[in-house]
Structure 1
Amino acid sequence: MNETHEDQAGSTYDVVVLGAGPVGQNVADRARTAGLTVAVVEHELVGGECSYWACVPSKALLRPVIAVANARRVDGARQAVTGALDTARVFARRDHYVTDWDDSGQAKWVKSIGADLFRGHGRIDGPRRVIVTSDQGARRTLTARHAVAVATGSRPQLPDIPGIQEAHPWTNRLGTDSSTVPGRLAIVGGGGVGAEMATLWQGLGSHVTLLARRNLLPRLEPFVGELLAESLSRSGADVRIGRQVTSLTRPDPAGPVTLTLDDGSQVEADEVMFATGRAPNTHDIGLDTVGLTPGSWLDVDTTCLVNGLAGGWLYALGDVNHRALLTHQGKYQARTAGDAIGARAAGSPVDDAAWGDHATTADQHAVPQVFFTDPEAAAVGLTAEQAAGAGFRIKVVDADFNAAQGADLYADDYQGHARMVVDLDREILLGVTFAGPGVSELLHSATVAVAGQVPLKRLRHAIACFPTVSEIWLFLLAAYRRE
C-alpha cells in the first residue's frame, strides 16, 4: 500500500478516488472487482465522517439511551432501571466503535482489496489528473485512465447570525465526540441531526432546548415530528417550533451562551449546537480546472457521471451530488457507479435504464431513512405531499400501532403510527412511514415493497408473524381494502 509523502513522481491508475469514507471505499472495491487499478486519496481519517463523527458514534451513543427508554416501557423491566446512565461507560462504548479515532484498520482494508492509499489533500488538475499534497507539502500527480470519482462528502453549514463565531458552537462533530455532558444544551435545527442529538443529550442528562423553524423531521410525514416533539417534551426537553435564532452572545468562551430568538425571548445554555444544513466538500478540490464551480453540488446522471463535462470521466458519489445525504444511499451509488466504470472501461454495454444494473433508480423512488430518536422514525419512498405534488393519484392509509397485539406486547401502551401512500393507478406503494419504538427493523420490508413495486394484491399474502410489531402491515392493508 502506498501512503506516499515524499515521492515526487507521478503514477497512472485506471481510477482515482477522492475520499476514503464508506462511499469512496465502495466505489474503489467495485472498480477493483472489475479488474481496474485504483488509487484512493484521503486527507483525514480513512473511514470518513460516517465512521468517526456521524453514523457510527451517534448510534453507539444513542443505543444505551434508547435501550433504557424501551426497558422503561415494559412493566417488570422498568423497575430494574434504578439509576441514571453511566455516561463514562457510554462514552467508552462510543470510543470502542470509532476505534479511538485510529484508522489503521480501515487503511489496511484499502490495501486488502489491492488499492493504493495516498494520504494528503487531493485536487483535480485538469481532465483525469489529480495532484495530492501531503501534510509535509510533498506533491504527487495521479493520472486516471478511465475515471476520477469524487466522494469527499459534506460538512456542517453554519448560518450567518451575529455572534455565531464568538459563540464557538458545536456541530455534529463535537456533538458526537464530546465526553462531557453540558448542564444545558441548546440545539438549533429540527432535522435528522438535531432530532437525534436532542434525544441523545437529553437522555445523557443534559437539559436540552430544541429550536426548529418548522416541524421536527420536516421531510417525513407530519405525524412523525408531532410524536417526537411530544416525546421529547415528556422527557423534560424544551421544544420550540417555529422559532429562529437572531443573535448569540458569549462574552467568556468558557461561560454560558445566550441565544436571542425572533420573538424577543432568550435562551441561556452552557453549549449551543447548530444542525442547520450541510455544504459539499467541493470548494477546494480543483473543480475550476475543469470548468465547474468550486463549492457546488455536482449534478449527475443515473450512473453518477457528472453532467455537462466532456469526456465522461468524472463521477460524483454520496453527499456531493445532493441526492440523498445518507451513508447507505451513497454506498448504493458507489456500487452502481463502480460497476458502470468497469463496464465502460471494458467496452461493455451500460444498463442505465430505470432499475438497470448501472442506474441509481432508488435515488428517485425508494430512499430508506431511519432516525434513532425516541420514538424511532423510519421511512422509504415518497410522502403523501411529495406523491401528490408529483402528479400521482394516491390514497393515504393510516394505522395506529396499538391495534396490533404484537406492538402491545413489545411495549406497554405502545405509542406509534404508520402510513402508506398507494398509487391507485398501479396499486403499488409509493411510500411507507413508521414512527414508534423499534420501527427501524420494519423498514427493510417496506423498502423491498416500494423498490420491488409489489402489487398490493400480492403483498396481502406476505403474512406478518404473530405476535410481532410487523403485524402493522395487516392493519394497513386491511384499512386500504375497507376504504
Structure 2
Amino acid sequence: MNETTRTYDVIVIGAGPVGENVAERARAAGLSTVIVERELLGGECSYWACDPSKALLRPVVAHADARRIPGLRQAVTGPLDVAAVLAHRDAMASHWKDDDQVDWLNSVDVDLIRGHGRLAGIRQVAVQTAEGHTIQLTARHTVAISTGTSAAVPDIPGIDTVHPWTSREATSADEVPGRLAVVGGGVVAVEMATAWQALGSQVTMLVLENALLERMEPFAGEMVADGLRDAGVDIRLGISVTSLAREGGRGGEVRITLSDGSELAVDEILFATGRAPRTADLGLESVGLTPGDWLTVDDTFRVTAIADGWLYAIGDVNRRALMTHQGKYQARIAGAVIGARANGEPVDDTAWGAHAATADHTAVPQVVFTHPEVAAIGLTTREAERNGRRIKVVDYDLAHIAGAHQYGEGYRGKARMLIDLDRNTVAGVTFAGPGVGELVHSATIAIAGEVPLERLWHAVPAFPTLGEVWLRLLETHRG
C-alpha cells in the first residue's frame, strides 16, 4: 500500500458548500489549505437536497399558481411534463458530476484529495483513497470537520429487505412510483409528498405526530396539510410503521404493517424521519470523542471538548441549525476566525460581527417549498412561552393584502408576528401562503437587526406586493 505524507496549515474534511466556504476563506487568509472529500464536491445540497428538490418543486408550485390565475388558467391544461421536469432536475444537479466544482476549487488555489478522511490524532488526518493508498496529513493550525448529516432511518423489522428511499432517492429517482408512502411529517416529508403527488404518484403520508411541521406554528402545518389533501395526498396522523416486507425483491410491492393493525401496499417507501451526523467513521475516538456523536462547538465553531482548540466543526454536524444557508454563514465566521488565529490577529466581535456566530441562536430563516409555502424565522408562540418571553401575538389574513391577489383567485394565507414586549422588537415571524418565501429576508433583517418597532414603522412596503403585510401587522399591533 502506497503512503505519502503532506503538511498544510488547514485541513478541511467534507467538501459540501460549508467545507468549500471554510477552505476558500482560509486560503484567502494566506493559509495553505486542503479539502478532503469521498463523494462529489458540492455535497448533499448540490446533488441530493436543495438544488434537485427545488427543481422538482418549482414546476409543481408554478403549475398550481397558474391554474388559479384568470387568463392563464385556460392555457394550463393537463398534467406536468414529467420527463421535462426530471430532465431539468438532472441539469440542476449537474447530472451528478462535479467538474465545475473542481474548476472553482482550483481557481481559489485549494488542494483537493479524494478519499475517506479520518482523524488520526491531534492535527492528524489519514485519507484512504479509492485506489487503496493512504495519505497522511498534518495540520499546522486547524482541522475543520464539515461532513454534514445523512438520513436517519429507524430500526423497523424488515427495513433492510425493502431498500427504502431516503431523501437522496427521493430527489434523484428517474421513475415515478405509482404508489409512494412517505413516513414523517417534517420539511422533507411535506416537500417530497408535494412533488411526487404532482408528478403522478399516489402519495400516502404516515405521520407519527398529530400534525405536520410540528416545530412551526400550528396554522402552518394545517395549511400545508390542506394543500396536500387538495392535491390528493392521503395523510394519516398519529400512526407509525411496525414492519415492512418487499415481495419479489427490488421492484416488487412493499407491504407495510401499521400501528393500528392495518396494512398498506405501495411501490416505494420514503423515510423522512430526521438526520444523523456523519461522524461514525471519522476517527473521533483518536482524539477522545465518541464516534457517531454530534460535535458541540462554541460561537467560533471550535469543538468545546478539545482543549487546545485546533478542531472545528462547521455546518450540520454541530447541530446548531441544519440548513445550508446557516452552514454557509457558519463557514464565513469560522473561516475568518481560523485565519485571524493562525495569523496572530485578535479575535473579537467587530462591527461586522466577523468572529462570532449569533444568528444561529435568534435568526434562522427557513422556507418550506410546498403549496402553500411556509416561511419562518425566530421564535414560535410555543417556544416564546416555554422560554418565559413576554410576547404579543399579532395575526393577519394575507388574503386582505392587495398583492396576494396577483397569485390568483381564492388566495389563502396567514401571517403571524411575535412582538417582544420588553424589547419592543420582533421576536418571530411565520408566513403561510403562495409566494411567502420572498418575505422571509425582510423578517430576518427585522430580527437580526433588532429593529425597534418605531423604526420598522418607517420601512414603507411597495404596493401592491405581499410585503405590505408588514404595514398591516404593525397597524394591527397599534390598534
Give the TM-score category using the shorter length: over 0.9
Residue identity in the other structure for 1:28: A
Matched, 1:480 2:470: no
Residue identity in the other structure for 1:88: A
Question: Corresponding residue for 1:461?
Answer: 458
- CA offsets 1:27-58 (integer angstroms, 9 cap, x no match): 01111111111000000011111110111100
Secondary structure of 1:166 counterpart: helix
Q: In 2, distance between residues paired with 1:339 and 1:41? A: 20
Identity %, equivalent residues:
60
Matched, 1:239 2:255: no
Map 1:200-279 → 2, pairs under 5 A:
200-214=195-209, 215-253=211-249, 254-279=251-276
Q: In 2, distance between residues paired with 1:244 and 1:75? A: 42
Matched, 1:28 2:35: no
Matched, 1:311 2:308: yes
Secondary structure of 2:78 counterpart: coil
Map 1:16-415 → 2, pairs under 5 A:
16-214=11-209, 215-253=211-249, 254-351=251-348, 356-415=353-412
Where do 5+ consecutive residues of structure 2 fail to align?
Answer: none
Kindly state the Cα deviation for residue 282 of structure 1 after the two structures are TM-superposed: 0.5
Residue identity in the other structure for 1:326: M
Q: In 2, distance between residues paired with 1:244 and 1:455? A: 45
Contact residue 302 and residue 352 of structure 1 kept, 8 A: no
Q: In 1, distance between residues paired with 2:194 and 2:83? A: 18
Residue identity in the other structure for 2:397: D
Residue identity in the other structure for 1:219: R
Where do 5+ consecutive residues of structure 1 fail to align?
Answer: 1-5
Q: In 1, distance between residues paired with 2:429 and 2:348? A: 28
Contact residue 144 and residue 314 of structure 2 kept, 8 A: yes
Q: In 1, distance between residues paired with 2:248 and 2:395? A: 51
Give the aligned CA root-mean-square deviation in angstroms. 1.3
Secondary structure of 1:337 counterpart: helix
Q: How many residues align?
A: 477
Residue identity in the other structure for 1:240: R
Moved more, 460-469 or 17-26: 460-469
Question: Corresponding residue for 1:3?
Answer: none
Kindly state the Cα deviation for residue 114 of structure 1 after the two structures are TM-superposed: 0.7
Residue identity in the other structure for 1:378: A
Q: In 2, distance between residues paired with 1:153 and 1:109? A: 21
Residue identity in the other structure for 2:65: N
Residue identity in the other structure for 2:13: L
- CA offsets 1:302-345 (integer angstroms, 9 cap, x no match): 00100021211000011100111100100000110110001111
Contact residue 367 and residue 375 of structure 2 kept, 8 A: yes
Secondary structure of 1:414 counterpart: coil
- CA offsets 1:274-313 (integer angstroms, 9 cap, x no match): 0001110001111000000001000000001000212110
Q: In 1, distance between residues paired with 2:383 and 2:19? A: 31
Secondary structure of 2:160 counterpart: coil
Q: In 1, distance between residues paired with 2:394 and 2:2? A: 62
Which of 419, 422, 426 is the aligned partner of 1:425?
A: 422
Residue identity in the other structure for 1:124: L
Q: In 2, distance between residues paired with 1:189 and 1:287? A: 31
Secondary structure of 2:354 counterpart: coil
Contact residue 256 and residue 269 of structure 1 kept, 8 A: yes
Contact residue 131 and residue 139 of structure 1 kept, 8 A: yes
Contact residue 403 and residue 475 of structure 1 kept, 8 A: no
Contact residue 318 and residue 324 of structure 1 kept, 8 A: yes
Question: Corresponding residue for 2:440?
Answer: 443
Contact residue 420 and residue 433 of structure 1 kept, 8 A: yes
Secondary structure of 1:380 counterpart: strand
Kindly state the Cα deviation for residue 355 of structure 1 after the two structures are TM-superposed: 7.8
Kindly state the Cα deviation for residue 245 of structure 1 after the two structures are TM-superposed: 1.1
Contact residue 37 and residue 115 of structure 2 kept, 8 A: yes
Q: What TM-score, normalized by structure 1, do the two folds share?
A: 0.97
Contact residue 45 and residue 51 of structure 2 kept, 8 A: yes
Moved more, 14-23 or 344-353: 344-353
Kindly state the Cα deviation for residue 479 of structure 1 after the two structures are TM-superposed: 1.1
Secondary structure of 2:174 counterpart: coil
Residue identity in the other structure for 1:110: L
CA shift in 2, pair 1:240/1:354, >3 Å: farther
Q: In 1, distance between residues paired with 2:190 and 2:322? A: 16
Contact residue 373 and residue 433 of structure 2 kept, 8 A: yes
Contact residue 355 and residue 361 of structure 1 kept, 8 A: no
Q: In 1, distance between residues paired with 2:68 and 2:13? A: 46
Q: In 2, distance between residues paired with 1:137 and 1:7? A: 8
Kindly state the Cα deviation for residue 353 of structure 1 after the two structures are TM-superposed: 8.8
Contact residue 354 and residue 361 of structure 1 kept, 8 A: no
CA shift in 2, pair 1:26/1:7, >3 Å: farther
Q: What TM-score, normalized by structure 2, do the two folds share?
A: 0.98
Q: In 2, distance between residues paired with 1:338 and 1:143? A: 19
Kindly state the Cα deviation for residue 178 of structure 1 after the two structures are TM-superposed: 0.5
Q: In 2, distance between residues paired with 1:355 and 1:268? A: 55
Contact residue 247 and residue 255 of structure 2 kept, 8 A: no
Kindly state the Cα deviation for residue 410 of structure 1 after the two structures are TM-superposed: 2.6
Kindly state the Cα deviation for residue 104 of structure 1 after the two structures are TM-superposed: 1.1
Q: In 2, distance between residues paired with 1:170 and 1:461? A: 49
Secondary structure of 1:464 counterpart: coil
Kindly state the Cα deviation for residue 9 of structure 1 after the two structures are TM-superposed: 2.3
Moved more, 466-475 or 199-208: 466-475
